[in-house]
Amino acid sequence: MANQKNKMKKKDNGSSKFIFWVIGLIAVGVLALILFGNFSDKQDNQEASKIDYSSQPFLGDKSASVSIIEFGDYKCPACKNFAETTMPVIQKELVDTGKAKLYFMNNSFINVDSERSAKFAESVFHELGNETFWKFHELLYQKQPEDSKYEKMDYFTEQFLTDTLKEVASDAEVDKVVKYFETEKSVDAWQKDMDLAKQMNVTGTPTLFVNGEKFTGQTMDDLKEMVESAAKEK
């Protein structure tokens, strides 16, 4: 009888130790998840704080507390639609009201036209400034080819880009931009955008970020809510 009790006691002790270790492992796992989540959040915040907005074209009051980034491609049909339908609403309800400023950055991924037009637009911004950049920017989307011509990779030729710029700039200004473009001085500014797009895991266009956080909503109301929330965190 004593031996049976001892065996039962040893069995109970073994079960208790097993349960203790299981609970301990679960606790460690939960703690690791919490710490990893906090670390990921901290990393995201650090990445957002590293965004360099200097020397980037923007719309709005530079002192606005909320910064929206649009990553776009001049050959992207969805970006054309965004420029024509959504941008005017963002401009009216968020930019013109002083709630946010909007930056455009390149994510040129479709074809050689994407890169050429982006680098040319960077040249416009550098040589002629923010206002002329946005006029040229809008024209490029307006002139994006119809679907039947979309596959042509040489549609946004240097001549086409030059002729488009002539619609919003003088001949002397156009010459300055073309010279800057042809000496490839705009490559660094373009590459800066591409590196940031990769760093922020941008996989398509248009993609929006609000104060460094990716916008995943579906409606304008979702965007306004995100902007208002970001403003409160400042």
What pTM does this model have? 0.79
Q: Round to whole Å and give the CA distance between 17 and 228.
A: 52
Residue 104: φ, ψ to 5°: -105, 130
Counting Cα atoms < 13 Å in the Cβ hemisphere of 74 gives: 27
**Residue 102: which residues within 8 A CB-CB, separation 6 or more?**
58, 59, 60, 67, 68, 69, 70, 90, 91, 94, 95
- Which helix (H) or strand (E) segment holds residue 199: the answer is helix 187-199
Q: Round to whole Å and give the CA distance between 47 and 155.
A: 36
Return the residue matching tokens 């266009």: 205
Q: Which pLDDT score is estimated for 152?
A: 66
Based on C-alpha coordinates, what's the Rg of the chain? 27
Q: Which pLDDT score is estimated for 143?
A: 94
Q: Which pLDDT score is estimated for 151?
A: 59
Q: Round to whole Å and give the CA distance between 152 and 28.
A: 57
pLDDT, averaged in runs of 10, over the chain (234 residues): 49 51 45 40 50 96 96 96 97 98 97 96 98 98 78 85 98 98 98 98 97 97 98 86
Q: Round to whole Å and give the CA distance between 153 and 5.
A: 85
**Residue 130: which residues within 8 A CB-CB, separation 6 or more?**
57, 58
Sheet strands (E) in 58-178 = 58-59, 66-72, 100-106
Q: Which pLDDT score is estimated for 197?
A: 98
Q: Which pLDDT score is estimated for 30?
A: 37
Residue 221 burial (CB < 10 Å; 0-12/13-18/19+)? exposed
Q: Which pLDDT score is estimated for 147?
A: 66
Q: Which pLDDT score is estimated for 213?
A: 98
**Residue 80: which residues within 8 A CB-CB, separation 6 or more?**
141, 144
Strand-pair partners of 100: 66
CA pseudo-torsion sign 54, 167, 178, 162:
positive
